[in-house]
Structure 1
């Protein structure tokens, strides 16, 4: 069996509204990838995107001194909404219910397993890392709207350089060790700690570039940062 895991950023599924065109193209690519080899399976964990940011922003304005757990729970509900949409998109390829607890669910039916957020304290990247480890994924692909991890924040430092490879220690030095709801980081610090402990290989790439995603899935040369 050939298993790979995708952490599909909510900014790809719903950057402001649902990106129907992207989802159509993503569906076509994934379907083709699975049709080429009957042994292939995919885990797709979906982030919260615009619904998470919108509702978390509303909660911050409505509730004084709102705590991070309350904000995370709102974000988790957004991931479930996006994940249910992705599960519906893949129809008979995805026969298991949306995974809400990556530690207890199984992947016995279908070719695609779709996951959502779990509990406060980390992002859906962590859920993807747990599922990747649990089901022996060869590679976890983190798809967002950035093409590489940079040596520094490129919006603040014009000299920041894109990195093709980096260690988990390098990434942890860049993103820190704590998670805040709504953080815009190349990879969740809690997921990074788990991935380092379990020796996972993670690729960070731009999910909008579907030809590049095809190359990653087929283990061909690609644009992105490999972390291991």
Structure 2
């Protein structure tokens, strides 16, 4: 059994409008307990941008007409660095590396936890999670956001949208398309989806705020979510 777990933490659960420290306290306690049970277990946490990303991107769009998408991406990336630095500080005793902002660069990963954030424009932190998973031999990415399952369509816009337990990569890619725009809201980013599909990885999308459910996924128990792949 692979002892590495890759958790892609959506900014929507780290900082939905401000930092959700109640959630982060629960995450801290539960992950520490999980890692203490088996010292060979390792976790990679990849942090999204959340509210800070949206607030700054929106500010730029309100000031500059036709704001450059690369500049918007950089604002989102810096927001992920802020969230990532917070997670790195929370787990500093278990994380010997500095915050990872280039998943292809030098990484020791001697501790039990590695914390990463945004890298460069053109995709979201989901793609960084796939790169790190490939690099360190992970086969499963747990993609945690504020939605419990992937739906056949956007449930906010389409009342007939249905939740899915499983979906193939081909079906999922047809749904999310193949282009990335800054702040794009999909269960898993199109660029990351293509890469994960090519590598035959599995991605579980679940509601990260339900910490018991997240721990069930980590332990290979029954859980609520959508398996892609």
Alignment TM-score, normalising by the size of structure 2: 0.97
1:175-194 alignment, distance < 5 Å: 175-194=176-195
Unpaired runs of 5+ residues, structure 2, are none
Aligned residues: 228
Aligned to 2:86: 85
Question: For 2:210 and 2:216, how far apart are their aligned partners in 1?
Answer: 10
Aligned to 1:109: 110
Question: For 2:24 and 2:202, how far apart are their aligned partners in 1?
Answer: 26
Aligned to 1:40: 41
Q: Is the 8 A contact 1:2 1:138 kept in 2?
A: no
SS at match of 1:194: helix
1:38-77 alignment, distance < 5 Å: 38-77=39-78
1:1-228 alignment, distance < 5 Å: 2-228=3-229
Question: For 1:108 and 1:8, how far apart are their aligned partners in 2?
Answer: 19
Give the deviation of 1:104 after TM superposition.
2.0
**1:115-147 superposed Cα distances (whole Å, 9 cap, x missing partner):** 000000100000011101111113100000000
Question: For 2:163 and 2:106, how far apart are their aligned partners in 1?
Answer: 37
SS at match of 1:91: coil
- The farther-off stretch of 155-164 and 140-149 is 155-164
Question: For 1:156 and 1:182, how far apart are their aligned partners in 2?
Answer: 18
Question: For 2:106 and 2:161, how far apart are their aligned partners in 1?
Answer: 40
Q: Is the 8 A contact 1:107 1:113 kept in 2?
A: no
Q: Is the 8 A contact 1:99 1:105 kept in 2?
A: no
Q: Is the 8 A contact 1:165 1:226 kept in 2?
A: yes
* C-alpha RMSD of the superposition: 0.9
Give the deviation of 1:107 after TM superposition.
3.7
